[in-house]
Amino acid sequence: MLRHYRMFAAYNRWANTQVYAAAAELSDAEFRNDRGAFFGSLHRTLNHLIVADRIWMKRFTGTGEAPTTLDAVLFEDRNALAAARKIEDERIIAWTGMLDERTLAANFTYVTVVQPVEITQPLSAALAHFFNHQTHHRGQCHMTLTALGKPSLTLDLIYFLRSEGREWM
């Protein structure tokens, strides 16, 4: 499973790069336009992904900042948001690179944001959610881009594996 999660960390960075490249082509109005995604605009959805990643990484590592609301807008500036995304993706890759099988199989306890209750579950299950959450909201980013009349993005894992992700095949 370690190799699997490390692959997802690399894929996550690759897919985020695709989304941010498409976002860079938008006008500011398009970037901030509410197109019906859960967090409304591409701007707010990309902010949510940074928020959620920081919350989870704080839970996983005990370090870093963790916003207290899921809809926080940490970055109004698109370039600052993109720079933060790159840093967070590298942090995720570095952390998954340090995991071992014993840690991955161990129970993990954290407190939720929305309904502050303590949850205990295997770290591997939380990590599976972590990467699935990214994919879920990147799908909403894709929907937002196509709703704005922009080209459809190719974000499938298999395309990553056939291109930049060959080391995972």
Can you list the residues of the chain whose pLDDT is less than 50? Answer: none
Question: What pLDDT does 169 receive?
Answer: 92
Q: pTM of this prediction?
A: 0.95
Residue 154 DSSP one-character state: -
Q: How many whole angstroms separate alpha carbon 35 and alpha carbon 28?
A: 14
Question: What pLDDT does 105 receive?
Answer: 94
- State pLDDT tens for residues 79-116: 999 999 999 999 999 999 999 999 999 999 999 998 89
Average pLDDT value for the chain: 95
Residues 6+ apart with CB under 8 A from 161: 11, 168, 169
